[in-house]
Structure 1
């Protein structure tokens, strides 16, 4: 069924996204209402990947449950991790090493960028948010929050272990060097939005110039942070190298994170009271992920650099996992361009990536689409400039199709 040539599914999804943008104080209710409306419409009048009714819905859930479980495990687990990091006392010692002016904020964003090249982008963003909370006495500009999310997404876009989409490409046969090319665009974008975001933050609240008196590091909490991060990285790399199909069947990365949290809880007790708030934010993202999974997207436009550029804007509101899977099945892309587009593009809206949703759980004021777009205008500018720098420097060199199908497991959208 369609209206004016547009499938009703897409209209319902668009209304859901509009509701999120307009009613940013009720995002969870809007997302769950949209999910229910789309599911009921497809049960009554549509299908799920060609299978109608409850069997189709059950098949979809069977396909997506690993994605959902991994995301939930990571978002909740990294909420506890960021609290451990903040309470470790290390952020309070950073003024000793960071410049006192706007360049201190730029260095913080650069640190997030580097961390995300080998860590999950959710973890990198939340660590960045924890550092910002201390260094700026919790007065953080929304433009700087957008910069933290953008730095985490840009940093992971050129590494096959830095983002779920690039890991999917790696499993499908794309060489790490092809993905690494994305850094030509990502570094360019970082230099642009990083300067604007750091200056916005400095104008609102200058960085802490001196360490608080008596500041010290709790090495046990830092050790717990390291154990949790190593568990996530180790599970991801181990199964990708040994048997990547396991990642499609079992949410091993989320399980690894929670095993690490459980084993280290006797060392330092996590702040369990953070979980209810983190759970509500996580349910919002998972509702949008499931809405996107139910959209009847079977094919992308013909592969070209123009299509890749457009996918970056689409990924700001649409889950980038199915977009990447479709691109891998279709083939014909220059994978460095695609990695940058779908990885960094989600930074343009706060709910466009799991890193943005995770950071919005820490800073609820970031949940306004209007405020994010107004304060984070430099993200879209940096995205476009970075893309065309990549095009000018390396050129568009598409590959043939690399696989008949693509894995769907995820650590973050």
Structure 2
């Protein structure tokens, strides 16, 4: 019952936190759209063995309801829905390409034998697991956090003899999201702020909270993992690294990073019209086929998790959220919890449009907050495709409790050390930036 109350409470928060559009039927003052979305999230939490079908049913039901009764911002009826899909197409395509492509990347990395030789360079006790999470954190500061989480998952699979604790899986997701929170190229939400005129130095403040959060969740998760299955201590001097696969991993990651930087700096006005980063990742995969064959066999199962996330992203995009409460430290803290069950891209777009935030606080909140539930971030969904046992909200909350604790403590430390200093978007007028709600080429939707 505590799980049900948690999901209902979180879903009702979605309805009461934003100031909603006045149109459309309501029940107890809550728009029916939000009630349908809350029931979808509750279904995902309770029926974790059928999450794909629950998410698809929820997306279909919400779409039909809006077609028949309320319409969309792009119009009424079927044409309005088609227009809405067109508006969200780049985000959805980028997400699909990234999740599918990075699944192949993680398999290349695992077969490169780098995770097998890694124990020679890591401590043998719980500190080895902690150092691995630090590596994921660092990788995510300049890579897409989906890739960082999957690389961390591949290393953990080898280091812990395929027995990875759910609490440690939550730690990997938290480390990947924390690493991207303070970098304008590490997370879609921070990239959006950068495009809108937020200085990278303002976003960098998020690392004050992110490092604290990493230390807390990393310590607890590493201890959990060591008690469950210690790090593999056997020597692998006979193992040779497959440098061909290492090169493929590097090619895919460099393609993603360069595309992200070039598009968002030079051609950001085109970023909402074409899925640049997704195409770049797949071009790198196809070009490298002659060096090593990708494991195409993993794609059908990966596609299930990908469609699940896309369904939730589509559900969130159809919610009648028009604005947020007044910008404040409390609002930023709340957005972190909302981000665990709601797509953080529209939340960030609304915050940018509203202005008046301390952007370091906002970057940490929307970046790290999704780690609290397995489907709260694309990194969590991607890692859960690799470890299906993680697809349980109850188990994630039970064993990954340290993520929520780390989020709150990190936020509090940041408040004490830096204080709340809201700043305007100083450089917005100097950049050829798109409208505030534009989604950049790289995607980390929740």
Q: Distance in 2 between matches of 1:228 and 1:411?
A: 16
Q: Distance in 2 between matches of 1:360 and 1:405?
A: 32
Work out which of the residue numbers 257, 276, 292 in structure 1 matches 2:316.
Answer: 292
Work out which of the residue numbers 233, 236, 243 in structure 2 matches 1:209.
Answer: 233
Q: Distance in 2 between matches of 1:235 and 1:164?
A: 13
Deviation track 1:201-255 (CA, whole Å, cap 9, x = no partner) reads: 0000000113335211000000000000001001000111111122111000000
Structure-1 residue corresponding to 2:431: none
Deviation track 1:102-154 (CA, whole Å, cap 9, x = no partner) reads: 00000000000000000000000000000000000110000000000000000
The unaligned stretches of length 5 or more in structure 1 are none
CA-based RMSD:
1.0
Alignment pair present for 1:106 and 2:130: yes
Work out which of the residue numbers 98, 101, 104 in structure 2 matches 1:77.
Answer: 101
| Offset of residue 45 of structure 1 | 0.7
Q: Is the 8 A contact 1:92 1:211 kept in 2?
A: no
Structure-2 residue corresponding to 1:86: 110
* Secondary structure class of the residue paired with 2:424: coil
Structure-2 residue corresponding to 1:34: 58
Structure-1 residue corresponding to 2:367: 343
Q: Distance in 2 between matches of 1:48 and 1:323?
A: 18
Q: Distance in 2 between matches of 1:307 and 1:401?
A: 19
Q: Distance in 2 between matches of 1:152 and 1:218?
A: 25
Deviation track 1:342-375 (CA, whole Å, cap 9, x = no partner) reads: 0000000000000000000000000000000000
Structure-2 residue corresponding to 1:411: 443
The unaligned stretches of length 5 or more in structure 2 are 1-24, 429-434
Alignment of 1:174-323 (within 5 A): 174-212=198-236, 214-323=238-347
| Offset of residue 55 of structure 1 | 2.2
Q: Distance in 2 between matches of 1:401 and 1:267?
A: 46
Deviation track 1:367-400 (CA, whole Å, cap 9, x = no partner) reads: 0000000000000000000001001001100123
Structure-2 residue corresponding to 1:369: 393
Alignment pair present for 1:127 and 2:151: yes
* Secondary structure class of the residue paired with 1:316: coil
Q: Is the 8 A contact 2:346 2:437 kept in 1?
A: no
TM-score scaled to structure 1, two decimals?
0.99
Q: Distance in 1 between matches of 2:377 and 2:83?
A: 25
TM-score scaled to structure 2, two decimals?
0.91
Q: Distance in 2 between matches of 1:354 and 1:51?
A: 29
Q: Is the 8 A contact 2:74 2:83 kept in 1?
A: no
| Offset of residue 51 of structure 1 | 2.1
Q: Distance in 2 between matches of 1:312 and 1:331?
A: 17
Structure-1 residue corresponding to 2:176: 152
Q: Distance in 2 between matches of 1:159 and 1:211?
A: 36
- Equivalences, count: 413
Work out which of the residue numbers 77, 81, 103 in structure 2 matches 1:57.
Answer: 81
Q: Distance in 1 between matches of 2:189 and 2:405?
A: 22
Alignment of 1:326-341 (within 5 A): 326-341=350-365
